[in-house]
Amino acid sequence: MKAKVEISEQVVRFVARQAPEPRQVLRAALRQLENERGNIKPLEGELRRYYRLRVRGFRIIFAYAAASKTRRVIRCIFAERRNVVYEIFEEILKKHLLAGE
């Protein structure tokens, strides 16, 4: 059964900013996420409720949302280059928690 993949505006903008070839690879990886395929790994520590999809030198952070009656829902939340993705995402989460969101 295919999962429903919801993509945040940040991920859409990040993918659109890439050069044509990486952009195609990222879009293909997001399509494969429907079948929960790809280099997927659960995160650890404070980010343990999230997962990462590795696509070359990029990382897409996602979480499983409450499933509907017919299929799972995957929310792609944040995308960035590997060398900074986790630090930036953790800072964003902290800001949202402090703001009470």
Got the DSSP string for 33-100? GGGT-SEEEE--GGGTT-EEEEETTEEEEEEEEPP-SS--EEEEEEEEETTTHHHHHHHHHHHHHHTT
If one compares 96 and 34, the residue with the highest pLDDT of the two is 34
Q: What is the pLDDT of residues 50-62, one digit of tens each?
A: 999 999 999 999 9
**Share above pLDDT 70 across residues of the chain, in percent, rounded to a whole number:** 97
The domain made up of 4-98 is a member of CATH 3.30.2310.20: yes
pLDDT at position 75 over 90: yes
- For the full predicted model, state whether its pTM sits above 0.85: yes
**Residue 101 pLDDT more than 70?**
no
Total number of residues shown for the chain:
101
Amino acid at 72: R
Domain ranges of the chain: 4-98
